[in-house]
Amino acid sequence: VYRFVLQRRWIGFLLLVVLLAAVCVRLGLWQFDRFSQRKVDNARISSNLVTDPVPVADLLDVGGQVAATQEWRRVSAVGTYDAEAQVVVRFQTREGGGRGVDVVTPLVTAEGSAVLVNRGWQPGDAPSPEQVPSPPPGEVTVIGWLRADSAAGESATRPVQGQVRAISSTGIAATVGYPLVPGYLALTEQVPATAELAPTERPDLGQGPHFFYGLQWFFFAGLAVFGWLYLAWVEAHPRRRAAAYRARTMPPSTGSIAPVTNDAAGESRNAAARANSSGRP
């Protein structure tokens, strides 16, 4: 019954379905892998958020980079803010707070190097560095979360009139006269404390939509295979297909009875028709 599937067009159709299903399965596995990696990353970040702070100089050297395992690690630093090198990061939004800017100031340590400190967020369209709160003078101790440099290009990270669109120690280092350690510190605590700026928000530790996306791709793979099998079954059972078609297209019976009509002599024409159909004169 199914010998027709050996025809060239059916074989080609099958190969196309197999390819489509394989692609869907591969995408589903990729989404499941991203889901697993997200859980691993969230577990690491959750641990880093509550660890005891360590001096940033113990983790990073000038010219290095922030490792993925160090993201959101609690670190500390002691130094003096360089208010003249302060920049604002434009186009930063907060949930419920609208658009604003992050305020980033280098903290110069006793060793002569500095670490960028994101001191917080201020609402507003695009204030200049002169329109945001100045850092406290003198020596301060800061504690915060270690963040990696942005991957944005130089046009976004090099200060222009005290403004940038992304934070990168590489871009800002070209405008200051001292070396910067990689990455930056998202401020959570400071001694002496100031409260003019909104602190950095905690990271989103949700698992994302990857698991359900994976299920969707596997569903599409199964749907492609089922579609081919169904079309093959329909091709192999044409009578059932024709009967199903007639059942869908035939108008329903009204169940009405033909009205009784009489000829000129008063005889019923319906009766005559029944007599003729039975073979009687």
Can you give the pLDDT at residue 234? Answer: 83
CA distance 202 to 109: 26
The pair of structure tokens assigned to 15 is 């190969």
Q: How many CA atoms lie within 13 A of 126 on its CB side?
A: 8
The pair of structure tokens assigned to 201 is 């928000």
Q: Among all chains, which residue has been given the structure tokens 């409260």?
A: 195
CB-based contacts of 199: which residues, under 8 Å, 6+ apart? 120, 121, 187, 188
Can you give the pLDDT at residue 255? Answer: 54
Categorise residue 104: left if φ over 0, alpha if ψ from -120 to 50, beta otherwise: beta
Please report which residue ranges of 178-237 form alpha helices under DSSP H. Answer: 210-236
The partner residues of 247 in beta bridges, in order of sequence, read: none
Record the pTM.
Answer: 0.70
Q: Pairing mode, if any, of strands 54-55 and 74-81?
A: parallel
Q: What is the pLDDT along the chain (281 residues), one digit of tens a residue?
A: 677 778 888 888 899 999 999 999 999 999 999 999 999 989 999 999 989 999 998 888 887 889 989 999 999 999 999 999 999 999 888 877 688 999 999 999 999 999 999 999 998 876 777 788 899 999 999 999 999 999 898 889 999 888 999 999 999 998 998 999 999 999 999 999 887 898 888 888 888 889 999 999 999 999 999 998 988 888 888 756 566 666 677 666 555 555 555 555 555 555 554 545 444 44
Can you give the pLDDT at residue 243? Answer: 62
Q: Are 102 and 86 in contact (CB under 8 A)?
A: no
Cα–Cα distances (Å) from 10 to 222, 225, 239, 240, 257, in that order, read 18, 13, 20, 21, 50
Can you give the pLDDT at residue 96? Answer: 72
CA distance 38 to 46: 12
